[in-house]
Every structure is written in structure tokens, then in C-alpha cells.
Amino acid sequence: MTEAYQALKQEADRRWQTLAQGERSWIRVGTAICGRSVGAVEVIYALQEELRRARPERISAVVSPVGCLGLCYAEPIVDIKLPGGPRVLYRNVSPERVPALVEAALVKGEVLSDLVLGTLDGKIEGVPEMTDLAPWRMQTRVALRNAGHIDPHDILQYIANGGYEALDKALSGMTPQQVAQEVTTSGLRGRGGAFFPTGTKWGFLTGSRGPIKYILCNCEEGDPGAYNDKGILESDPNTVIEGIILAGYATGASNGIVFIRHGNEGPISRTGRAIAQAYEMGLLGKNILGSGFSFDIEVSLVGESYVSGEETALMEAIEGKRAMPRARPPFPAAVGVWGKPSNINNVKTLAYVPEVIRKGGQWFSAIGVNRSKGTAILCLSGHIAHRGMYEVALGITLRDVMEKLGGGIPDGRKVKILQTGGPLGGVLSADKLDTPVDFEAMAAAGAILGSGGIIYGDETVCAVDLTRNLIAFCQFESCGKCFPCRLGMTHLLDIIERIRSGQGRRDDLDLMRRYGETMQAGSMCGHGQLGFNPVRSALTFFMEDFRVHLEEGRCPTGSCQQMVANPTRTRPGPEAYTVIAHPYGARG
């Protein structure tokens, strides 16, 4: 351990001991986007006001904003630790309930039973432990190990919980080649959706000459239903920063850029603050921890553009240009951002790296199954009881994810459809629930895991209507650079619009397949190459919904409002074709 890191660790441990074991109560409130959206900031204001009203001589407490515990369905979560006692987590706390909570928990030392969720780090008779609850017990938290536990604004809390220990270990006792080898041994694969081996990708950059090389961290994250990248950055940004620095050391890079979609103020502000604190602590900049290694990181923002998540379009956006994919070769490892060699990794991928180096590649490779090593961070939404962000060992089945983690489909309904891997991923039917969450197994089942979003739909969902929404998103987000994607998405949307409205033709399904094949063969990037996936998978698993629209002129669930408003046709023919107004207006 370097002397510089040892001094930081001693100060961090001292301050953590004061918070966690001191004489004051410690109140943590989840303030990630899920908590803020349901009033977490107002809860903090109410807590502060109530503590002032109660006077310090009666109650001595510290209130800390933390990130997301992952139990988004229970937000706002208030986590109260009395001196010498366990943490007690309260769910769905509103500002109106704060006075009663303060009176019961902090004045009387009692548990407010109608709000209590469970305890951590100890027991209270009659109160469940969090480890007894399936949404918590079934998780294996690696990238999310600190999320919801530490204040993301305080780098010393991260250090007190093992933060930057991996960086100190690497800089004081490992060569860059040894760091890269640990990542290769771990079997870590990219978590942005392509699942390419991370160690191999780093090797491409290692072979490129410097002196200026870039590590780019991708937090564009425009997928509907995915929020784990943003969740990590607003809950524990330092784990990503440490991962970027380690990637830089392993590949001989000199600079890092965290690329965040404009408007995501939580991830932007917390990442910027974490970077500033890392510079103050000597963990960024010149001669990090006295090792002779230097590295700089900055944040780059981009306007809303789904395609800017593609790695070459991302580089264009960083340079201030329109986010459009570049032709390859040359590949980014040779000619990247600003013409310099560059490596692009997803937020989640880099968040794993500190624990891989700290505990070893073999430790990480022991988690998961087959070639899918480690964990997956799943974002569950839609018709599911326990919406949230869960980190689980790869290999768990989609059924266990739905029933045990997600609490099943509410109101006694049955699951009909799962939309996985973002709008380019595809849909699965209920008979695929026993598929393991494994990169290859998911692809073999007919969809992809992608960045981890899973949206559930019950029997009220029409597959045609859902597919139309996915294709509309993809068409709107196409950058328009290459015509197979630009025109292909437009034609797919036009066709599925007329099927949805009861004006479909018998040859429409074959026509969509032909467009899809052309898009896959001729598109410049994955947006067009994968753009037919939602239609292909919907036709595979939900042909009956399409048949009812085409042959009976009705929507089986009543979801397609145009058909409900004008259900006049029963069987379509070629003469039935009409032009449907485009949902986003005129196209150029």
C-alpha cells in the first residue's frame, strides 16, 4: 500500500466510523432518479425541518442523500440507523409521514410498522431482515455493492468501503500487462449489449502507439426500460472513475471521457463532483499516488440521440459533430476521438473492473455460467409488482427474475410478452420464461439481453401495438446516414401502422421480412442491422395477434385504438391500402 493511499484510507475510516458507529443517528435517503421522481427531495426537506423542530438536544442526527438500493418500487426509502442499532429501512415514505416517522424511530426508538421494509446489519424482533426478502436475498451485488449505502458526493465514504484499493494495488505492485491479464482471466464481457470480451478489446488499444490515447465511458443509455448506467453514476460514480483509471493504466492511455446524455442531471453532477474530488485527493492528474502514472478524466455531454450510443457516433458527438456512425476501418483503437487511439466501454463494464483487480480475475469468473461470467444488472419495468434495478449472477432464469425478484404480475394476470435488450432486442413469449439469463442462451431463444432492461406485458398487451411502438422509436432515432436504415425503418413503420389500423394487406408480412433482410445486410451500424429484430421476434412468437389484425380486422386486446374507433372491415385485400399519417409528422 502506498503512503499516499494509506493516509487517505485512515482519514476515510475515521470519518466512516464516526458516521456508522458514532453517537448520532444516521439517516440515509435514496435520491437517485427513481426516488426523486416520487418525492425523495421533499422527504429530505421534511426530515430536516422536523429535526430542527425537535431541537438538537432531543435528537442528534445526520441526514445523507444516497443512491439507489435497486428496490425502486419501495421509493422513497428512508434508512435510519440509531447509535448501536441496526439499519431500519422504511418504504414509500411521503413528506406527510415524516413527523410520525421521526417521533417513532428517533424519539421513542420504536419501529413504524406500517412503513417498515426490513433491517440490515442486525435484527429487531418482529421486523423482517432484508436478507429474508427475495428481491434482496437473490442478488449478487458487485457493480452495485455501494449503491444506496454511501453518499455519492463524498469520495471518502467510497474509500472507506474499499474504494481505490484496486488502483493502489495496481500502481504499487502490478504491471499494466498484469492488470490486463486479470481482466482477461475474469471473463468479463462488455455490458453495453455486444458482450465482446473486455480484455481482448483492451488489447487492441494496448498495441496502438501514444502518447495520447483515450478511454471512453459510454453512458448514452437511451434504451426505454434501461436505467442501470445512470443508476451507477448517480449512486457510486467513483467505482466507474476507478475503473476508467485502471483501464488507462492497463492500456497505456492518458485521458478518459465519461460520455453522458444531456439532461440526466443526477449522473452528470455527481460524476463531475466525484472527478473533482479525485483530483483533490491525488487520484487523478499527474503522478497518481506517487506512482509516476498520470491520467485525466472529463465529462462530455450530448443532446438526446439514441444512435450516439454507437461507439463511432459517440466519438463524433464528443467532437461536437452530429452523432452519426463512421465508416470502419479505421477502427477506434487506431483512429478514435480527435484522431487518437481510443477504447470505448460501457458504464457497467468499467464499474466491475475495480472489484476484478481487488479480488482477482478467478473470483469474478467463478460467478455466472458458461461463457457468461459475473453478474447482470437487470432493470424490471412494465406489468411487474417489484419494479427495480437488480444485480444477479448470470444463469438465473427469466422465470425466477419475474416471480422471485419481480414479485410476479400483479392483479392475478398472466405474463404474455417480455421485451428485452432495448428497442433493438426483440420480444419473447411466456413459454421462454425458463431461459437462463445467459448471453448465448438469450440469443438462441430469439432475443438479446442487451443492456439489461426487461419490460413485462400481461394479457392486455397487443404484440402488434407494442411492436409498432418499438419500430416508431427506432425510426425516429435513425440518424439517416445510410438509406437501408433510413428508408427501411420508415417502410417498416408504415406497414405496421396499416396492419395496426386494420388496413393491412396479405403480403405485408413478407414485405417486412424483405425490408429486414436488406437492412441487416446493408446498414452501416447496429441500429439498422438489428432494426428488424422487434418485428422478427414478434412474428415468431405472436403471429396470432398479427393474424387477427389481418384476417379479422380487429385487435385481440383492444389496444389498437384506431381499430377500436373504426372496426368496419373484417378481411383485408389489396384495395384496402390507405396512407396512414405518420405519428411524428412529415418526414424529409
* 228-270 confidence digits (pLDDT tens): 999 999 999 999 999 999 999 999 999 999 999 888 899 999 9
Q: What are the CB-based long-range contacts (under 8 Å, 24+) for 405-409?
A: 405/134, 405/135, 405/138, 405/378, 405/380, 406/135, 406/380, 406/456, 407/73, 407/134, 407/135, 408/384, 409/383, 409/384, 409/385, 409/456, 409/458
Please tell me whether residues 308 and 225 are part of one structural domain: yes
The three state secondary structure string of 385-430 is: CCCEEEEEECCCEHHHHHHHHCCCCHHHCCEEEEEECCCCCCEEEH
Please indicate, yes or no, if residue 140 is contained in any of the structural domains: no
Distance CA 214, CA 268 (A): 20
Please tell me whether residues 445 and 570 are part of one structural domain: no
Residue 585 has pLDDT above 50, yes or no: no
pLDDT at 415: 96
Please indicate, yes or no, if residue 11 is contained in any of the structural domains: no
Give the contacts of 518 (CB within 8 A, at least 6 positions apart).
484, 488
Which of 395, 307, 379, 350 is closest to 190 using CA atoms? 350
Among residues 133, 164, 193, the one where a domain terminates is 133
Domain region containing 119: 19-133
Please tell me whether residues 421 and 528 are part of one structural domain: no
Please indicate, yes or no, if residue 149 is contained in any of the structural domains: no
Please tell me whether residues 315 and 331 are part of one structural domain: yes
Among residues 345, 365, 385, the one where a domain terminates is 365
Please indicate, yes or no, if residue 147 is contained in any of the structural domains: no
Please tell me whether residues 174 and 316 are part of one structural domain: yes
Residue entry with cell 409498432: 468
Beta bridge partners of 379: 389, 453
CA 108 from chain centre, in angstroms, equals 40
Q: What would the pLDDT profile of 14-51 be if each residue is shown by its tens digit? A: 999 999 998 999 999 999 999 999 999 999 999 999 99
Cα 384-386-387 angle, rounded to 5 deg: 75
Split at pLDDT 50, 70, 90, the class of 348 is very high
Please tell me whether residues 93 and 123 are part of one structural domain: yes
Please tell me whether residues 345 and 376 are part of one structural domain: no
| CATH number of the structural domain spanning residue 382 | 3.10.20.600
Radius of gyration of the chain (CA): 25
Q: What's the total number of domains in the chain?
A: 4
The three state secondary structure string of 151-220 is: CCCCHHHHHHCCCCHHHHHHHHHCCHHHHHHHHHHHCCECCCCCCCEHHHHHHHHHCCCCCCCEEEEEEC
What angle, rounded to 10 degrees, do the helices at 165-173 and 3-21 form? Answer: 160
For residue 439, give the H/E element and its range.
Answer: helix 439-445
Please indicate, yes or no, if residue 376 is contained in any of the structural domains: yes
Half-sphere exposure of 396 (CA within 13 A, CB side): 24
* Rounded-to-5 percentages of helix, strand, coil across the chain: 45, 15, 40
Neighbours of 178 (CB within 10 A): 12
The three state secondary structure string of 284-314 is: CECCHHHCCCCEEEEEEEECCCHHHHCHHHH
Please tell me whether residues 344 and 422 are part of one structural domain: no
Please indicate, yes or no, if residue 44 is contained in any of the structural domains: yes
Among residues 341, 365, 389, the one where a domain terminates is 365
pLDDT at 578: 35
Please tell me whether residues 524 and 398 are part of one structural domain: no
Split at pLDDT 50, 70, 90, the class of 116 is very high
Count of helices and strands (H, E) across the chain: 24, 16
Please indicate, yes or no, if residue 146 is contained in any of the structural domains: no
Residue 58 has pLDDT above 80, yes or no: no
Q: What would the pLDDT profile of 291-340 be if each residue is shown by its tens digit? A: 999 999 999 997 678 888 889 999 999 999 998 999 889 999 999 999 99
| CATH number of the structural domain spanning residue 115 | 3.40.30.10
pLDDT at 563: 60
Please tell me whether residues 53 and 96 are part of one structural domain: yes
Please tell me whether residues 104 and 188 are part of one structural domain: no
pLDDT at 224: 84
Split at pLDDT 50, 70, 90, the class of 567 is very low
pLDDT at 48: 93
Please indicate, yes or no, if residue 449 is contained in any of the structural domains: yes
Q: What would the pLDDT profile of 161-198 be if each residue is shown by its tens digit? A: 999 999 999 999 999 999 999 999 999 999 988 899 99
| CATH number of the structural domain spanning residue 269 | 3.40.50.11540
pLDDT at 562: 62
Q: What would the pLDDT profile of 395-417 be if each residue is shown by its tens digit? A: 999 999 999 999 999 999 999 99
The structure's pTM equals: 0.92
**What is the maximal distance between C-alpha atoms in the chain?**
82
Please tell me whether residues 28 and 109 are part of one structural domain: yes
CA 528 from chain centre, in angstroms, equals 22
Distance CA 493, CA 442 (A): 26
For residue 376, give the H/E element and its range.
Answer: strand 375-382
